[in-house]
Amino acid sequence: MNHFHSDHLLSSEAVRVLGVLIEKEYSTPDYYPLTLNALVTGCNQKSNRHPVVTFSESTAMAALDELLRERLSGHASVSGSRAQKFRHAAAQRWNLERPALAVLASLLLRGPQTVGELRTHTSRMVTFESMEQVAEALTVLMEQENPLVAGLARRPGQKGERFGHLLSGELPEEDTASPIDIDAHGGSSTELEEIRERLTRLETEFEAFKRQFE
């Protein structure tokens, strides 16, 4: 069963704060590490967030304390700045590089997504030249000793496999998929088989339709 081992699984508030810290390091590096005010603004912004939240400074501070206990955040001393600033420590904690961190941040900030959605939503943090590169970053996150991400079962009518983070605990049983083979187009081998079957069925139906007029 997929789950993230920790003495203390992260609350939704801590998940949001960690996602913002990672995102802002790459999207607005001139303003990173973040002041508490900038962090709250990042948590509460309406774009690139699901769900949209309204955190107070005390909510953000409690989340930072939680991340600090898990060795996922820290205080940063910045020369010339009197304001206290905060940084994440996810890169050191899990030995992750920028592509995997960007994907993780997007999952923390927006919830489950497909490979294609992740490629789009991480564009301000990192440039993925191909779907394969996104898949490689996901693989890094999924193959940690304690996996940070898992594949989710596809909902009816949904095109691609989705992936979700495990930092708040196990994914719902009905959402968890067996390990999947991510292909270059952001789908799975199972998905491609379904598409081929659908095409074959459409061809058969079209031939039957044409025969009505012969």
Query: What's the total number of domains in the chain?
Result: 1
| Pick from 86-95, 183-192, 205-214: least confident | 183-192
CATH number of domain containing 22: 1.10.10.10
Residue 174 lies in a domain: yes
CA 75 – CA 88 distance, rounded (Å): 9
Residue 201 lies in a domain: no
pLDDT tens-place string over residues 146-194: 999 999 977 777 778 899 999 998 766 545 444 444 554 545 545 556 6
Residue 202 lies in a domain: no
Q: In the chain, what percentage of residues exceed pLDDT 90?
A: 65
| Pick from 98-107, 115-124, 190-199: least confident | 190-199
> Residue 178: its pLDDT value, please?
43
Residue 7 lies in a domain: no
Residue 93 lies in a domain: yes
Question: What is the domain range of residue 179?
Answer: 12-189
Residue 76 lies in a domain: yes
Residue 145 lies in a domain: yes
